[in-house]
Structure 1
Amino acid sequence: MQPGLSEPDPQDMGCAGRKDGHVQSVVRALRLLESLNRRNVSSVAQLHKETSLPKPTIVRMLKTLVAEGYISSDHRQSGYSVTARVNSLSCGYHDDPMVVEMAKPWAIALTRKFGWPTGVGLLDQNAVVIRFSTIPDSTISPFHSSLNLRMGLISRALGLAYFAFCSNSEQKLLLKQLDEADKTLLGERESGWLDRRVNIARKNGFAHRDPGVEPRNSDTVAVPIMVRNRVAATIGLTYFRVGVSQTDLKAFATSLKKTAAEIGARIEDLA
């Protein structure tokens, strides 16, 4: 060993030789950062309780993070706080918004419960785009794939679940930019059709696909995911019409509404 160098703590050493290939020092550092990010100020005792890491290891990691500018030591409150530099760790992330990431496990749970595929959609100009789907997890899906499909705002369940529950002012803007299929459908329907469709969705708390839209052998029931009284996304479950009873539909809608409420509440808690 070179003079002046101490024996490294095994807790701090990377385990490149492990079968899983994980570098444990990196895993522990990330776990520590996540814990620090949950509070304004964290003490070593709090971090030890939450991460189960040895206190000497935590102290060494904290010193390193302070030196690198990711956290600061708050002597007045005897703790540590993250700095603005932690934002740099996420600046390259341009994938789905938090609502989609948050909804994924709930969507999978719905498919496991009912068997039918679940989709999560986000507004993209004049349509709702499916950004996550559990079709790979369903053995009875009416479709082979739906990811990135655009759902019309007034014809499709995921689209109407957005349109019906957004503000009146936003509805007016969206009506001006409907896609061609929805414009055609609106022109073919009788006067007041869209208002009735919106009112029914609001009364029930969920939306259905227009029965005249293909494929007619299946349907989708969808609900909005509300975050601070705004529609952040929509989530829906698709099924074959044959063999699905009104009792089944009620169960679908009830579970979807409960799921959407839990996702929205979780996002608000994290923000």
Structure 2
Amino acid sequence: MASFPPVEAVVRAVQLLECLNRHPVSSIAQLHAETNVPKPSLVRLLQTLEGLGYVRRAPKAGGYLLTSKVRMLASGYHSEPRIVEVVAPLLDALTQAIKWPAALAVPDEGAAVIRYSTIPNSPLALLHSSIDMRLGLLTRALGRAYLAFCEDEEREALISLLDVADNPENIAAQNRASLDATLELIRRQGYALRDPKVRPVSNTLALPVFDAHRVVASVGVTWFSSTMSDEEAVKRYLAPLQEVAAAAKAALSEPAGPGQPEGGG
């Protein structure tokens, strides 16, 4: 037991970070309900964390979200994120069976970032590596699969962060009716394909990955466009990729064991 009372400001700041980590986007009212911290104090804490670069406002969604800088807080912890631990062997087995490379991506502000790839195990890969590659949310299959199936408030927050200057592919956000129709089609189909105007030499089929509560990542398979049509690729690889997503969900929905990090990474 500590020999002194806890520093209340530190307790509140940590509680706030934990609460922000549980939701893609959090409103002041939601944070107040979960932490019991007075709203004026929450605003001051959020503005402080925003100034330090750990929190970002999502004005169109009316809330706050964590930035990628929070990873620095765990930089001394060297275990792989749980989602990579779970999905990597599933994708390895998939590539061993079908030969084409597969990848796992997670959202990072305005992009889907590849956190695991089977390119080293594939004889049919176009690239030498894709780890940490940032893919557009609106045009790339891995980004579309996540964006279509995430919660409405998270989707609005992610779209509000997109900048055409940062990535010309984000121009699709300027035609919201067309974008919404594309995302609705993806939800009905249950899968996403890359926009055919982007890197037509290949294409990717992608699915969302869920834990017990929400979508946490996306997984996909990439092939050369010259070898088969999109329709043929969906026919061949949708079911195996669905098996990967289902197995990942089952594993991620179980409580983390001792020594395992909570959450999707």
Q: Runs (4+) of structure 1 moved beyond 3 Å?
A: none
Q: What is the percent sequence identity of the aligned residues? A: 37
Write the letter of the residue equivalent to 2:196: P
> In the alignment, is residue 242 of structure 1 matched against residue 226 of structure 2?
yes
Instruction: Give 1:120 deviation, angstroms.
Output: 0.6
TM-superposition CA deviations, 1:68-93 (whole Å, max 9, x none)? xxxxxxxxxxxxxxxxxxxxxx9942
Instruction: Give 1:248 deviation, angstroms.
Output: 3.4
CA distance in structure 2 between the aligned counterparts of 1:241 and 1:205, rounded to whole angstroms: 21
Distance 1:117 1:264, change over 3 A: same
CA distance in structure 1 between the aligned counterparts of 2:133 and 2:77, rounded to whole angstroms: 23
Instruction: Give 1:125 deviation, angstroms.
Output: 1.1
Aligned mate of 1:186, from 173, 177, 192? 173
> In the alignment, is residue 174 of structure 1 matched against residue 158 of structure 2?
yes
Contact 1:217 1:240 in 2 (8 A): yes
Distance 1:176 1:252, change over 3 A: same
> In the alignment, is residue 203 of structure 1 matched against residue 188 of structure 2?
yes
Contact 2:212 2:252 in 1 (8 A): no
> In the alignment, is residue 226 of structure 1 matched against residue 210 of structure 2?
yes
CA distance in structure 2 between the aligned counterparts of 1:216 and 1:91, rounded to whole angstroms: 37
How many residue pairs end up in the alignment? 179
Aligned mate of 1:101, from 72, 85, 92? 85
> In the alignment, is residue 160 of structure 1 matched against residue 141 of structure 2?
no
Instruction: Give 1:191 deviation, angstroms.
Output: 5.6
SS of the equivalent of 2:149 reads: coil
Contact 2:159 2:173 in 1 (8 A): no
- Residues 1-271 of structure 1 aligned to structure 2 (within 5 Å): 92-94=76-78, 96-180=80-164, 181=167, 182-187=169-174, 192-213=177-198, 215-245=199-229, 246-271=231-256
Instruction: Give 1:229 deviation, angstroms.
Output: 3.1
Write the letter of the residue equivalent to 1:170: E
What is the TM-score normalised by the length of structure 2?
A: 0.63
Q: CA RMSD in A?
A: 1.9
What is the TM-score normalised by the length of structure 1?
A: 0.62
Distance 1:156 1:105, change over 3 A: same
Write the letter of the residue equivalent to 1:204: Q
Structure 2 gap segments, 5+ residues each: 1-73, 257-265
Contact 1:127 1:152 in 2 (8 A): yes
Q: Which has the higher contact order (CA 8 A, sep 6+)?
A: 2
Contact 2:136 2:170 in 1 (8 A): no
CA distance in structure 2 between the aligned counterparts of 1:270 and 1:114, rounded to whole angstroms: 31
CA distance in structure 1 between the aligned counterparts of 2:82 and 2:179, rounded to whole angstroms: 31
Distance 1:157 1:248, change over 3 A: closer
CA distance in structure 2 between the aligned counterparts of 1:260 and 1:221, rounded to whole angstroms: 13
